A and B are shown apart, each in its own frame.
Chain A
Amino acid sequence: MLARAVPLVLLVAAGAYLILSLQLPFGAAARPGAGFYPVIVAVFALVVALGATTSAFRSAPGAAAAAVDLDAAARRRVVISVAALVAFCLALPWVGYPAAAFAFVTIVLRYLGARWTTALLTGALSSAASYGLFAVLLDVPLPRGPW
Chain B
Amino acid sequence: MGPLEGLGYGFSIALLPSNLFACFVGVLVGTIVGVLPGIGPVGAMALLLPSTFAMQPATALIMLAGIYYGAMYGGSTTSILVNVPGEAGSVVTLLDGYQMTKKGRAGAALTISAVGSFVAGTVGVVGIMLAAGWLADVAIRFGPPEYFAITLGGILLLSRLSGGSILNAFVMVALGLALGTVGMDSISALRRFTFGSVQLAQGIELVPVIMGVYGVAEVLLLAEEGIAKAQIASVKLRELLPTPEEWRRSTMPIARGSVLGFLTGLVPGPAAVLSTFISYTVEKKVSKTPEKFGTGMIEGVAGPEAANNGATAGAMVPLLSLGIPFSPATAILLGALVVHGLEPGPLMISQRPEVFWGFVASMYIGNLMLLILNLPLVGVFVTVLRLPQHVLATLVLLLCLVGAFSLSNSFLDLWVLVIFGVLGYALRKLRVDPSPMVVALVLGPMMEKTLRQALFLTRGSVVDLVARPLSATILILAAAALLGPPLVRLLRRGRVPQPLPR
* A contact residues vs B (CB 8 Å cutoff): 2-3, 6-7, 10, 14, 17, 20, 24-25, 28-38, 41-42, 44-45, 48-49, 51-52, 55, 64, 67-68, 70, 73-74, 77-78, 81-82, 85-86, 88-89, 92-93, 97, 101, 104-105, 108-109, 112-114, 118, 122, 126, 130, 134, 138, 140-142
Contact = CB atoms under 8 A, between A and B. Distances in A.
A128 B193 CA distance: 39
16 contacts: A20-B193, A29-B455, A31-B456, A51-B170, A52-B167, A55-B165, A67-B429, A78-B224, A89-B414, A89-B418, A105-B394, A105-B395, A109-B390, A113-B226, A113-B390, A138-B51
Of the listed residues B402, B444, B462, the one surrounded by the most CB atoms of chain A closer than 10 A to its CB is B402
Given A44-B177, A48-B173, A105-B395, 19 more contacts: A2-B426, A2-B430, A10-B175, A17-B193, A25-B188, A30-B459, A32-B455, A34-B188, A34-B190, A41-B174, A42-B178, A49-B171, A52-B168, A67-B429, A74-B225, A82-B421, A85-B397, A85-B421, A114-B391
Interface string B185-203: 1011010110000000000
Contacts of B171: 7, 10, 45, 48-49, 52
Mostly, the B contact residues are helix
A35 B190 CA distance: 10
A126 B390 contact: no
A140 B409 contact: yes
Mostly, the A contact residues are helix
B394 A108 contact: yes
A35 B191 CA distance: 11
Contacts of B399: 130
Interface in B221-266: 223-227
Contacts of A64: 430
B306 interface: no
B443 to A, nearest CB: 12
A114 B228 CA distance: 11
A91 B243 CA distance: 59
B80 to A, nearest CB: 28
Interface of B: 51, 165, 167-168, 170-171, 173-175, 177-178, 181, 185, 187-188, 190, 192-193, 216, 219-220, 223-227, 388, 390-391, 393-395, 397-399, 401-402, 405-406, 409, 411, 414-415, 418, 421-422, 425-427, 429-431, 444, 447-448, 451-452, 455-456, 459-462
A27 to B, nearest CB: 9
A28 B460 CA distance: 8
Closest 6 pairs (CB-CB, A-B): A30-B460, A29-B460, A45-B174, A112-B390, A113-B227, A34-B185
A27 B313 CA distance: 42
